[in-house]
């Protein structure tokens, strides 16, 4: 069964092979991938392979404006590699947005919908999120989503770029989520 999620302005849908040219256009920009730990895409074929391998998970979504077929970014809930000391039933949220779409609140809108899905439908205990030190856009989006600081990790390998960076881990527990939603 294919999951499609909606918000006021957005559709979150599975990635398709025909999204490869748009994915390439967005991800060839050196301001996109390296902030998140991956290199810019080299060509449409590479973007197609990424759709077929990395973006083919059932909880990885293309973010699209309603009425527009082309993706403007991606968002996912994935198995967390972050420290989970309470051994919670948890997922980690990852996201990116194409540069032409920055500053419109799309990540926060999509993120809120996916967080709700995680707690309501997947019965999660927590949703984790992280950003590399210096990625202020991701930091700000995570703050707007209601994530709270958990830990700073020093000297974390970034294998796809062959670098070492510092990482900020944030999380949202079910109790925090319930409290945030009660305020709305």
Segments making up each domain of the chain, as ranges = 5-183
For tokens 């993706």, the residue is 71
Q: What pLDDT digit, counting tens, does each position of 144-169 carry?
A: 999 999 999 999 999 999 999 999 99
Give me the mean pLDDT over the 114-124 stretch: 96
Give the pLDDT confidence score for residue 81 in this predicted structure.
67
Question: Which residue, chain included where needed, has tokens 């909606």?
Answer: 6
C-alpha separations of 128 from 33, 138, 149, 161, 174 in Å: 20, 13, 10, 23, 11
What was the pLDDT predicted at 183? 82
pLDDT at 18 over 60: yes
Q: How high is the pLDDT of residue 144?
A: 96
Assign domain 5-183 to its CATH architecture: 3-Layer(aba) Sandwich (3.40)
**What would the pLDDT profile of 26-35 be if each residue is shown by its tens digit?**
999 999 999 9
Contacts of 54 (CB under 8 A, 6+ apart): 60
Mean of the pLDDT values across residues 44-70?
96
Query: CB under 8 Å to 97, separation ≥6 — which residues?
Result: 63, 72, 73, 106, 107
Q: What is the pLDDT of residue 82?
A: 62
For residue 88, name the pLDDT band (cuts at 50, 70, 90). confident
CA–CA distance, 181 with 160 (Å, rounded to integer): 37
Over residues 91-117, the pLDDT tens digits come to 999 999 999 999 999 999 999 999 999
With contact defined as beta carbons under 8 Å apart, do 101 and 73 qualify?
yes
Is residue 44's pLDDT more than 60?
A: yes
């Amino acid at each position: 069964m294919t999951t499609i999620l909606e918000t006021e302005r957005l559709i979150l849908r599975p990635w398709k092979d025909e999204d490869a040219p748009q994915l390439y256009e967005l991800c060839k920009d050196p301001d996109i991938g390296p902030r998140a730990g991956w290199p810019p895409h080299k060509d449409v074929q590479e973007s197609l392979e990424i759709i077929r391998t990395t973006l083919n998970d059932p909880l990885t979504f293309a973010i699209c404006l309603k009425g527009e077929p082309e993706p403007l970014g991606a968002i996912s809930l994935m198995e967390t590699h972050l420290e989970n000391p309470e051994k919670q039933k948890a997922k980690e949220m990852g996201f990116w947005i194409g540069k032409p779409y920055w500053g419109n609140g799309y990540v926060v809108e999509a993120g809120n919908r996916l967080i709700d899905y995680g707690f309501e439908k997947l019965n999660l205990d927590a949703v984790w999120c992280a950003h590399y030190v210096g990625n202020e856009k991701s930091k700000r989006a995570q703050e707007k989503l209601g994530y709270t600081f958990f830990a700073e990790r020093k000297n974390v390998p970034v294998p796809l770029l062959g670098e070492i960076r510092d990482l900020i881990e944030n999380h949202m527990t079910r109790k925090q989520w319930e409290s945030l939603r009660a305020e709305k």
